[in-house]
């Protein structure tokens, strides 16, 4: 987790989802909300999906992302984010 949070973009994505757990958005949308380059956001999202922190809702025409629904992962992320704040 600490390694993940070293990346500014990854940190901002996790913060965004922590503050807006209900949201589902594309990589482009998320890059607008957090003010980061879309390609970097896409790479971070792919990594976070692998780690199970973000869910990829994949269809033929759209790739959308949302926060994990697993309580233990959400708590872990919250704890680390709070320690950075």
Partner 1 sequence: MSEYNKKKDKEFLKKFCKSGSIAKLKQVFSDIMGNKQIKCMFLDPDCAPIEGNQKAHPEIAKALRLRLPEAVENFTCSCGKHCMTIPVKQGDNVYGYIVGLHLKQPLDKTSAAFVKIYIDLALKEFQKEQELTKLYDTIRPRAIALSTIHTIHRLLSSTLNMDELIERMARLSLQVMRCRSCSIMLIDESGKYLMPKAVIDLNNNGGKKDVCKYRKIKVGSGIIGNVARSGKVYRFRSLMCVPLIEEDTVGVICVKKKTSKASFSNFDLEILLTLAEQAVIAIRNAKLYEEQEKAAYGSIKSLAVLLDAKSPNMYTRSERFTKITLAVAEEMRLSREEIKDLHYAVLLPDTGKFGIPDKILKKQGGLSLGEFNIIKKQHLESLKILQPLEFLKPAMPIIKHHHERYDGMGYPDGLKGKQIPLGARIMAVVEAFEAMVSARPYKDKRITISQAIKEIERNKGTQFDPEVVASFISALKKLDLKKLFYDLLMNK
* 33 binding partner 1? (CB under 8 A): yes
The one segment of 4-12, 36-44, 45-53, 63-71 that binds partner 1 by CB under 8 A: 63-71
The Cβ of residue 72 has, within 10 Å, a number of other Cβ atoms equal to 8
By CB under 8 A, is residue 5 in contact with partner 1? Answer: no
Can you tell me which of 6, 59, 72, 85 binds partner 1, judged by CB under 8 A?
A: 59
Any contact of residue 69 with partner 1 (CB under 8 A)? Answer: yes
Phi, psi (deg, nearest 5) at residue 29: -60, -45
Residue 70 tokens read as 């697993």
**Which one, of 57, 75, 74, lies nearest residue 66 by Cα?**
57
């Amino acid at each position: 987790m600490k390694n993940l949070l070293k990346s500014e973009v990854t940190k901002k994505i996790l913060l965004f989802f922590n503050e807006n757990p209900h949201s589902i958005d594309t990589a482009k949308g998320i890059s607008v909300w957090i003010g980061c380059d879309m390609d970097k956001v896409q790479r971070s999202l792919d990594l976070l999906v692998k780690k199970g922190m973000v869910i990829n809702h994949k269809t033929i025409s759209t790739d959308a992302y949302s926060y994990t629904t697993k309580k233990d992962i959400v708590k872990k992320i919250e704890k680390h984010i709070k320690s950075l704040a």
